[in-house]
Each structure stands twice: as structure tokens, then as C-alpha cells.
Amino acid sequence: MKTESIFYFFMKLGFILILFISIISCKQLPKEIPDYEVAAQWADMTLYITKNTPANSPTFASRCLGYMGLAQYEAVVHGTSDHKSLAGQLNQLESLPLPNSEDSYNWLMVLNRSQSELLKSLYLQTSYENKLKIDSLENRIQKILEKNENRKTTKKSIAYGTELAEALFDWSKTDGGHRGYLKNFDRDFNREPFPGSWKPPLFAQSFSHKPLHSFWGENRTFAPQNTSLEVPEYIKYDPVEGSEYYNQFLLVYQKKNNLTLAEKEAAIWWSDDPDVTFSPGGHLYYITNSLIRRNKPNILLSAKTFALVGMSVADAFIKCWKWKYYFFSERPNTFVPEFIDKKWESFWPDPPFPSFPSGHAIQASAAVTALLNSFKNNIKFIDSAHVGRERDRIRNVEFKARSYSSLWSIAQETADSRFYGGIHTPQDNEVGLEQGTIIAENIINLNWKK
């Protein structure tokens, strides 16, 4: 048998196998699916693709979460009487396709179709196998939804979902971050060093000596109010022992020498290296999804919550990167060995970008502020995001589920974890928490209701 014939034989065999699995799966489909669960399953898939797509980064992942969250909301908003589209309110989004008032739509089908199409477009670089997983989820949910729906409504709903996804993707291509994974580390980036400037450390997460996404702060924000936020204050460089600047790094140095087991567990839990997890922003999207499944809100609140969190996190990363490259500030791994203890290194390795403000703090604060618009603060919550991960043998620490007595304590521990890890000073975290709240409030204060 010729090589070409063998190839086509196995290709046909593969399609037959997929068809067989689909037939078996359809026989096992539940009779119905809760509205919130449709939104939740697409959040699951978004996080899976985020985690399992190469060359991802916290910045690029946050961007995708923003668009995926917004798409959930726009897919269902026209099926409500008191909420309206965000078209005309977000930066450079003048309009979006409108449903025909004379037609009927199944809004869950619209959501199902638009999430599938947009996810494959945003993560254009993901594997063929991952795209099959996306298609499989779409087909599975569609089979359940269409059981009690007429053909005309089904056809119109799928068509509108496709049109909506295409419009959102076209808009996304003009934000400055399109296909950002192709330029993670700019070889031509160069900046003259100055006292207190960022330097590539020896103890780092990346082999690159160029910082990640130096341009990301110039990207378009979702909320217009987030475009021109004031630059936060930063403690003036002064390496003299006893100065306010020196003392920031001294606190990091002292904490490393007195870390408790609980603090070490927090440090590795929130590390969220994008090579092995769904990124820091994805972790907060995961928590959002857990709260959705726990509280079982209607589809509008489910979708709106994903939109609030997704866009808040995306804008938080843009502003954080804007300020990181404005100050281009050093991390403890370069200051402490030079001025305090030349043999010192942090508990957790440095990420490949400048320090101030903390990305973990700003995005966690933004996400939790957005969540507080949907849920009460005093919710007791257990985060199981990394349960089952292999023990960190280098640091001799296990990944144990984290419990919280309030939503805000999640943001606070996320920020604190970077201090425990030795890669951020207290001012990095304090300013990050403050600014993240402002950024999310600008998303919340959009005109969501008619």
C-alpha cells in the first residue's frame, strides 16, 4: 500500500472513530442542562485551552478572558428586558450585530455557538486536538438544547452566535495584543540601565534576558475610563540603609528568613506559572466559575459576572504593564544581593518583567471587586484549583486547597503570596490592590442596564 493511501486510510479511520464516539455520547446526553451550567462549561473549556496552549503568558491569557467573558454577556443580553449591550460604551466598539426582532432565538444556543467560535479564533495557535475538544463541547451542548427547540429558532440562533463571535474577534484584532504570543520577548527591546532599574536576574522563571511584552501597556483597554488613569506614586530610589526604599527590600529579606509552612503553601499556590497552569488571571476566572456553580444564578447574572471579571482582569494587566515599563523597577533578587546579603535569593524565582506594581495584586483586586458586584463578601470559599498537583520537590511544599472566610481575603492572599515568594515589596502589593479596585469599578460603572 502506498504511503499516501495509508495516510488516507488512517484519516478515514479517525473520522469514523470520532463519529462513533459522538453517537455513543449522544445516547448518554442528559435531557436538559441548567442555564448557568452552559456558561460554566464554557469557562471550563476556556481555562483548559488557556492552560494547554503553548507560548501563553499572563498578559495574553488575560486578554482572552476579557473577550470570552464579554462574549458570554453579549450572547444573552438581548433576551433580557432590563439590560443592554455594551456596544457604544467600550473603547472603539461602535456596534455589534443585532438579533432580528421578528425572529425567536434560543439564547443559550447563541452563547454556545459564539463561545466556540471566539475561543478558536482567539487561540488560533492552539492544537488541532484542542479545537476538536472545543467542537465536541459545542456539539454536545447543542444536542441537549435543540431537543425541545424548532428548526427555525435553532438555525437563527446558531447564525447569530456565529455573527456575534466574528464581530467581537474583528474588534479584538485592533487592540494591540492580537497574536501577542508571536512577540513575547522583543529581541530589539533595549533600555539604558539606571539606579534601581530592572535587570534580568540569575534566579528567574525565564531564560530570556528581555522582558515580557514591553508593549502591552499601550494596548486598548475595555473601559474608556481605564485608558487614562493617573500614574501611581512610587517610593524614590535610595539604597542607603534605613531609607524608606531600602526598608521595602529589607522586609522582603527578613520574611524569606522566617517563612512559615502556611506562607510557603500560599506562595506556591498562587504562583500560577503559565507553563503549567491556566495563568494568574485564569485562576480568578476559575474561582468565578466555582462561585457560579455554587450559587446557580440565572444565565444573565452568570454571563455578566464572567464579563465583569474577564474585562476587569484584562484591563488590570494592561494598566499594570503600562506602569511596570514606566517605572522599570528592580526586584528584590537584584537589590538584596547588592545592598543587604550577596548570597540571598528569593523563595520563588523572578518572572521576566519589571516589578512595580504587582501583577498578582492588581488583577486579583480587580477580579474580586468585580465578583463583589455579584456576590456577598462574607462567602466562605474553598479554592481547589491546584489540588492533585505533584508536590513541589524543590521547595518541599505540597499543593493544598485554600479556605477563605471572605472574597476579599482571596485578593489579599494573592498579593501577600508574592511577598512570601520574595519577588515583590509591600508597596508593589499595596498599590496593586488599590489600583485593581479602581480599574474594576470603571468596568462595573458602565451602563449595563437600560
* Domain boundary assignment for the chain: 30-172, 199-444
Q: Whole-prediction pTM value?
A: 0.93
CB 299 within 8 A of CB 108: yes
Helix axis angle, 107-122 relative to 299-327, nearest 10°?
20
Triad 331, 334, 337: Cα angle to 5°: 130
Residue 287 pLDDT exceeds 80: yes
Which CATH superfamily does the domain covering 30-172 fall into? Phosphatidic acid phosphatase type 2/haloperoxidase (1.20.144.10)
Q: How far apart are CA 195 and CA 188, in angstroms?
A: 22
What pLDDT band is residue 275 in, cutting at 50, 70 and 90?
confident
Distance CA 287, CA 372 (A): 13
Task: Please write down the HEC assignment for all residues of the chain.
Answer: CCHHHHHHHHHHHHHHHHHHHHHHHHHCCCCCCCHHHHHHHHHHHHHHHHHCCCCCCHHHHHHHHHHHHHHHHHHHHHHCCCECCCCCCCCCCCCCCCCCCCCCCCHHHHHHHHHHHHHHHHCCCCCHHHHHHHHHHHHHHHHHHHHHCCHHHHHHHHHHHHHHHHHHHHHHCCCCCCCHHHHCECCCCCCCCCCCECCCCCCECCCCCCCECCCHHHCCCCCHHHCCCCCCCCCCCCCCCCCHHHHHHHHHHHHHCCCCHHHHHHHHHCCCCCCCCCHHHHHHHHHHHHHHHHHCCCHHHHHHHHHHHHHHHHHHHHHHHHHHHHHCECCHHHHHHHHCCCCCCCCCCECCCCCCCCHHHHHHHHHHHHHCCCCCCCCCEEECCCCCCCCECCCCECCCCEEECCCHHHHHHHHHHHHHCCCCCHHHHHHHHHHHHHHHHHHHCCCCEC
Q: What is the residue-averaged pLDDT of the chain?
A: 93
Using one digit for the tens of pLDDT, what is the confidence trace for 182-240? 999 998 999 999 999 999 877 777 778 899 999 999 999 999 999 999 999 999 999 99
Once rounded to an integer, what is the mean pLDDT over residues 332-351? Answer: 96
Amino acid residing at 101: S
Residue 73 confidence (pLDDT) above 80:
yes
Are 134 and 112 in contact by the 8 Å Cβ rule? The answer is no
Residues 380-401: pLDDT tens digits? 999 999 999 999 999 999 999 9
pLDDT at 265 over 70: yes
Please tell us whether the domain made up of 199-444 is placed in CATH 1.10.606.20.
Answer: yes
Banded pLDDT at 23 (limits 50, 70, 90) = very low
Peptide linkage before 357 cis (omega within 30 of 0)? yes
Residue 207: the pLDDT is 75
Q: At what angle do helices 359-371 and 299-327 cross, to 10 degrees?
A: 160
pLDDT at residue 16, rounded to an integer: 43
Q: Residue 18 above 50 pLDDT?
A: no
Grid coordinates given for 120: 478558536
* Confidence (pLDDT) at 12: 47
Q: How far apart are CA 248 and CA 282, in angstroms?
A: 29
Task: Determine the average pLDDT of the residues in 437-450.
Answer: 98
